[in-house]
Structure formats: C-alpha cells, structure tokens
Amino acid sequence: EAGVTQFPSHSVIEKGQTVTLRCDPISGHDNLYWYRRVMGKEIKFLLHFVKESKQDESGMPNNRFLAERTGGTYSTLKVQPAELEDSGVYFCASSQVLGQVHEQYFGPGTRLTVT
Amino acid sequence: AQSVAQPEDQVNVAEGNPLTVKCTYSVSGNPYLFWYVQYPNRGLQFLLKYITGDNLVKGSYGFEAEFNKSQTSFHLKKPSALVSDSALYFCAVRSRNSGNTPLVFGKGTRLSVIA
C-alpha cells in the first residue's frame, strides 16, 4: 500500500511569489490534515479535511493560505503571496474516519524556503 | 487548550544503554497520546499510541511508553539503544472529543545514540 506522498520535496521561492504544495493521501483515507513546522518549533496544525469538506481550518495563519481538496482525493495548499515567515516544512497526513482511534500517517513533507 | 512539553532538545545516550525521551502534556480530560519519529530526510513515522487500558504501551522497533496520569507524562523508553535509533522524536496529544481531531505536538527531541 502506498503511503502519503507530497510534492515537491523542496521549494525555494522569492517573497511575493506563489507556491502550490500537493498531497496525495493513502487511498481510502477520508481525513486529510496539513501541518507546518517552522525551524526548531512545534509541528502546528493548519487544517483538516473530511473528504472534500473543510472540517477545521482554525490553524490557517491568514488568508494568504488556501487549501483545496476537490473530489475528496488529493489536496493542494497554495501560498499567495509568500512571505519570509512562511518558510518551514509542510506536512500532510491522512487517517481513516470511523471506528477506533486511528493514527495519522504522515508524508515526507515539503520544505519551503522563502527568500 | 492542549499542549505538549518535551523538556529536552537533545538526548545523548551510548549504544546499548537504556534511553528515555520525556513528554508531559496538558489537556482537559483523558487524552489520546502518540509518539512519532522522524529519521533524516523522511516523514514522521508512527511509533505507538495510548488509548486506554494498560499504562505501558509497546510499539515499533522495541520502543515503549508509559502513561502516567498523575504526572501527566508519557515518556518514551527503550531498554537498549541502537545507533539507528538516532532521530527526531515527537510526542503528540489528541482530545478524546473526537477520534479525528488534529494532533498537538511537542517541539521534538533529538536523540543521538553514540557507538
């Protein structure tokens, strides 16, 4: 079974540019989460999809961040325009929906550097 | 609000010695608790979780963790460390309100096992 995949693995952009990160969850996982880790800090929650619906987007920093999950499969996270403080590693995770408490399966992350 | 504290940024241990990576948490009610590990250039990998029942939880690669409700701790342990255990370890907590709520992470502890 394929794990959670993320693309790209690294992205270096200039302040003011736009970047789109992609996450492909494990097949059949309805829950999809985005997290971010700024250097040396905690991994912080950004938002949570259940299928194509945003369940919780309380962690989104501001309106420069836009997440979508059309069709309830893969998700994209767009940052427009990027600022220096957006640099960090963006993780995507997925989990099953119902039943027991399921652990979240994480992708390898996208390292974003804004210069 | 939920929070996780990992008081040590770095833990050094000699190969073959027991290791402990500390974690304390703050959450209302009883939590779900998790440990994840991040190897270099890899994503977060699930190690173990505490849901209910036996306070001693066994996980992957010989790791275990003990849930201590009175001390609100969930320290990660291994009886005999390997050089290959060197990695970044994250403790995480989730509210029991819903099985699919986001994880709240600590800032991570870097474990270095020296041959």
Tell how strand A19-24 and strand A75-79 pair up: antiparallel
User: With an 8 Å Cβ cutoff, are A56 and B99 in contact?
Assistant: no
User: With an 8 Å Cβ cutoff, are B44 and A93 in contact?
Assistant: yes
Give B-chain residues touching A40 at CB under 8 angstroms: 107
Minimum distance, in Å, between the CA of residue B96 and any CA atom of chain A: 9
pLDDT in tens, B24-70: 999 887 789 999 999 987 889 999 999 888 899 999 999 999 999 99
Residue of A nearest to B51 (CA): A101
Q: Are the C-beta atoms of B76 and B89 separated by less than 8 Å?
A: yes
What gap in Å lies between CA A94 and CA A106, rounded to an integer? Answer: 7
Output the pLDDT for position A98: 58
Q: Which candidate in B25, B30, B44, B45 is best for mutational testing of the A interface (most A CBs within 10 A)? A: B44
Half-sphere exposure (CA, 13 Å, Cβ side) for B101? 15
E strand or H helix that includes residue B50: strand B44-50
pLDDT in tens, A30-81: 999 999 999 888 899 999 999 999 999 999 999 999 999 988 899 999 999 9
Which residue(s) pair with A68 in the sheet? A76
